[in-house]
Chain A
Amino acid sequence: MRIEVEDLVLRYGDVTALDGITLTLEEGKIYGLLGRNGSGKTSLLSVLAAFRKPTAGRVRIDGQPVFENGRVTSRISLIRDVGETVNIGTGEEALSYAEALRPNWDGEYARSLAELFKIDLKKSVKNMSKGQRSAMGIIVGLASRAPLTMFDEAYLGLDAPARQVFYDQVLADYLAHPRTIIMSTHLIDEVSGLFEEVVIIHKGRVLAHEEKDELLAKGTSVTGPAAAVDAFTAGMTVLGSRSLGPTKSVTVYGELDDARRRKAAESGLELGPVDLQDLFIHLTAEDGAAR
């Protein structure tokens, strides 16, 4: 589903969680939503799913307002850590509510996922471990096959192999049933391969929204003798730097054309890629280096 957000503001009392978000997300892609704790990820997703009414601004999904609009919300699924979709009786009961309320529910798929995650559906969800409850949420989120499916840090408590199952299933089910998927995460390295586009929010504002490969192409590490590095990076957006004796490594942000690359090679500088997690850390650094 196509998402259009304009000047979105959300306040909790005196606290401003979303401070003027403007964002357009095209249909049918997997988006990574990145942000530090308290940056507004959960708030943004909660507004998109009509869990909350925005304080100000506009949210349209497939051109329609979202809050209290059943025709749109019936096509949206947001799985949060709170677990409002699963904290109801046993695993079986939770699935039966999902089946009753979700128009595209695939019960067989849900059961096969429960087996993959080794969930005993006869058990009360509230008595399950944190990881098992997270898995229940993932099962409900995937098997709902909602045209807009969102996972807000849905992996909490899952061990590494279970998280791999989660990522593989998201990808496999997306390939089989293409839809718009938004995943918020702190485990960027693990999952960044799945993203087509990345949205970084910081302090309630959009810091970056780009195709992942383009965003990655903008980050470059420049390594070499300190003087040469300083001369080369003068005037560029420097996100961070580290020194080891006479050697300096600087992370710069911005497109480097072939001429500059050639110049780097001539100055004996080594140019290297920066992975998404490092880029994210640098971009959202609190010391004012960002942007």
Chain B
Amino acid sequence: MLDDRSPIYRQIAERIKADVMSGVLKGDEKVMSTNQYAAYYRINPATAAKAFQQLVDEGVLYKKRGIGMFVSPDAQEKLRAKRRETFFTEVVDPMVAEAKAAGIPLRDIIRRIEELEDS
């Protein structure tokens, strides 16, 4: 994404994606309805439906007519692959940039990562 604008439906979509990636929502599992999302987030159901539509377009969810929305069986793997692609540009690069700005040597960062890995 090029900017930080995030309408509420995009935030909802991101949260569902996070749940799928972490395995809270499993493949072929039914997700809550738009009405349940609407009531929970206090938003119009049309807004919730937009989040679902976006996820269907991205292949994270699929629709069973008259029953509801389900997690695509390969969604978790797809999202993880995508995450792996963007991880370095979206997470590591900014981190390194920030470390440089703060004057933290890269060696210190690597050491920290190794400590986390060991513990």
A contacts, CB < 8 Å to B: 29-30, 167-168, 171-172, 175, 193-196, 212-213, 216-217, 220, 258, 261-262, 264-265, 270-273
Contacts and interface: CB of A to CB of B under 8 A. Distances in A.
Interface string B60-104: 000000000000000000000000000000000000000000000
Contacts of A175: 35, 38-39, 45
Contacts of B9: 213
Contacts of B4: 270-273
B50 A213 contact: yes
B32 interface: no
B5 A220 contact: yes
Contact of A271 (B5, B38, B45, B50): B5
Given A171-B39, A172-B39, A175-B35, A273 B5 contact: yes
B2 A258 contact: yes
Contacts of A30: 44
Interface in B35-49: 35, 38-39, 41-47
B7 interface: yes
A29 B46 contact: yes
B24 interface: no
A261 B39 CA distance: 34
Nearest to B50: A213
B3 A261 contact: yes
Contacts of A261: 2-3
Contacts, number: 55
Given A175-B38, A196-B46, 16 more contacts: A29-B46, A30-B44, A168-B42, A171-B38, A175-B39, A193-B44, A194-B42, A213-B47, A216-B7, A217-B7, A261-B3, A264-B3, A270-B4, A271-B3, A271-B4, A273-B5
A93 B8 CA distance: 43
A171 B42 contact: yes
Contacts of B39: 171-172, 175
B6 interface: yes
B57 to A, nearest CB: 16
Contacts of B3: 261, 264-265, 271-272
Contact of A193 (B2, B35, B42): B42
11 contacts: A30-B44, A171-B44, A195-B44, A220-B5, A261-B2, A264-B3, A265-B2, A265-B3, A271-B2, A271-B5, A272-B3
A137 B44 CA distance: 23
Given A193-B47, A196-B46, A213-B47, A273 B6 contact: yes
Contacts of B43: 193-194
Contact of B44 (A196, A258, A272): A196
Contacts of A195: 44
A172 B45 CA distance: 11
Nearest to B2: A261
Contacts of A220: 5
Interface in B19-55: 35, 38-39, 41-47, 50
Nearest to B36: A175
Given A258-B2, A265-B2, A213 B7 contact: yes
Contacts of A172: 39
B71 to A, nearest CB: 23
Contacts of B44: 30, 171, 193-196, 212
B55 to A, nearest CB: 16
A133 to B, nearest CB: 25
A196 B2 CA distance: 26
